[in-house]
Amino acid sequence: MYLIEVINQTMLVHMIENKLLKLPERLRPRLQCLLGRLFTDLSQVFDHLRKVRPTKLITVGDMVTYGFLSAGFKPDIAVVDLNIMRSPADEKIRSTIESFEASMVRVKNPAATITQEIWKAFESAKSPTKIIVEGEEDLAAIPAVLTSPDGAAVVYGQPGQGVVLVEVNEKKRQEFREILRQFEAVEV
């Protein structure tokens, strides 16, 4: 089992040793819905971010991170697995991500899960940090939002549609908490 509690507007996830949080099949349709604002063009996201000036910028996914780095936007935290749609990223994308100067944290995170490792990586990350995931970063936006302060921006890819921008505030964190409460704790 796991316990989620909120203390002074900070969410704490207590997971029993050797457990991880797994996305249940019944919740997959909910996560295919947009959890933020959809942008079909990266330049629109860049324009918006220039206006709102987020307190922290987190990119999730190789294509999103590559797009931001190529445009000169340096994320505070970049989460990648060096794969695009479960195939190895091409050399240009890989090279751009690898050349991003940031402290690097390597974590294991199987598909459709959130491990203690990835959660702790977000909690301890100092800007700039590159989180390299062995497995998948497909659900990393959840701990990204839940560990970020008000005013932060989390950007992730929505396959076939564009990118999603989540502007973090207490209402958004509450929405993500409700999603996380539906995950299942399983043995590692």
- Residue spans per domain, the chain: 36-170
Tell me the pLDDT band of 187, cut-offs 50, 70 and 90.
confident
Distances (CA, A) of 125 to 1, 18, 29, 42: 26, 22, 30, 25
* pLDDT score recorded for residue 17: 58
Checking if the pLDDT of 106 tops 50, the result is yes
Whole-model pTM: value is: 0.90
- Count the neighbouring beta carbons within 10 Å of the beta carbon of residue 3: 10
Checking if the pLDDT of 12 tops 80, the result is no
Checking if the pLDDT of 13 tops 60, the result is no
Distance of CA 175 to the CA centre of its chain: 15
% of the chain with per-residue pLDDT over 70? 90
Query: What is the mean pLDDT of the segment spanning 125-145?
Result: 96
Q: What kind and span of H or E run contains 122? A: helix 116-124
* pLDDT score recorded for residue 18: 66
Checking if the pLDDT of 24 tops 70, the result is yes
Tell me the pLDDT band of 19, cut-offs 50, 70 and 90.
confident
Query: What is the mean pLDDT of the segment spanning 54-76?
Result: 97
Place of tokens 């040793």: 17
